[in-house]
A and B are shown apart, each in its own frame.
Chain A
């Protein structure tokens, strides 16, 4: 079975940092684009960052450019999101998800909660 398991969330002060991880099993991780999508409490969904299969292309929403970095380790079947200079408005549930826009392949994790508060 396919499984995406996020970890690394927690409570952090404004200006702080966190690193989220997502370990994937059940499919060939190295063959698929991957994304981080977040959902603020009671709000809608927002794509935060997307990465190509080999890490050679990365895309970010404007609000996190220069602060967040997406990366992957295909040998470890793992996706990462480094969150720096965190703001209160970054508080959200962060989902790891496949990013396959043109074919039947879509999987999501259960999410990692990031809370930014003093």
Chain B
């Protein structure tokens, strides 16, 4: 199975400041169809997960543009340009290129 490794696992942030989470996969996430199926999910306390980004850098509906995704191959990054209070929670990267789909361990973002 593809192992997804996130860092850091805990990220203290300051409101209004930028934040960044790294995700590395154990093998390339480039699919034979040419797409890279790397997503980012947010899980706020007590809530179901919500996808923020799909295919590395594409926003899901309703996602604020302060979130951005980048990367290629095996190295990916989620950036928050200016952290807001509602961004507190756990963030997961996920690969859907290889079966079974797998998540990273999660990064806890706290103010």
Identify the A interface with B (CB < 8 A): 35, 37, 44-47, 50, 59-62, 95, 97, 99, 101-104, 106, 108-111
* Residue of B with least CB distance to A109: B48
When the two chains form their complex, are residues B48 and A47 in contact, meaning their CB atoms are under 8 A apart?
no
Shortest distance from the beta carbon of A85 to any chain B beta carbon, whole Å: 19
**A-B pairs with lowest CB-CB distance, top 10:** A101-B96, A106-B51, A108-B48, A47-B101, A45-B103, A44-B106, A101-B37, A61-B100, A59-B99, A44-B105
Per a CB cutoff under 8 Å, which of A50, A95, A99 touches B49?
A95
Q: Which one of B10-18, B54-62, B75-83 is at the interface?
A: B54-62
Within 8 A of A (CB), among B20-52: 35, 37, 39, 41, 43, 48-51
Are B92 and A101 interface neighbours, CB within 8 A? no
The chain B residues found within 8 Å of chain A, CB to CB, are 1, 35, 37, 39, 41, 43, 48-51, 54-55, 58-61, 90, 92, 94, 96, 99-106
* Least CB distance, A36 to chain B, in whole angstroms: 12
B102 touches A47 (CB 8 A): yes
Question: Once the chains are docked, how many angstroms separate the CA of A45 from the CA of B103?
Answer: 6
Q: In the complex, are the beta carbons of A45 and B48 less than 8 A apart?
A: no
The one of A59, A95, A103, A110 in contact with B54, judged by C-beta atoms closer than 8 angstroms, is A103
Identify 8 new A-B residue pairs, CB closer than 8 A, beyond the known A45-B41, A59-B100.
A35-B101, A44-B90, A46-B103, A50-B101, A59-B99, A101-B39, A103-B54, A108-B48
User: Within the complex, what minimum Cβ distance (angstroms) separates B20 from chain A?
Assistant: 20
Complex: A109 Cα to B39 Cα, angstroms? 18
Distance of A103 Cα from B101 Cα, bound (Å):
16
Known contacts A62-B1, A109-B48; is A44 also within 8 Å of B92 by CB? yes
| Chain A: CB-nearest residue to B104 | A44
B48 touches A110 (CB 8 A): yes
Nearest-neighbour CB distance to chain A for B91, whole angstroms, equals 11
CA distance A109 to B99 in the complex (A): 22
Chain A's nearest CB lies how many Å from the CB of B46? 10
* A44 CA to B93 CA, complexed, in Å: 11
| B90: chain A residues within 8 A (beta carbon) | 44
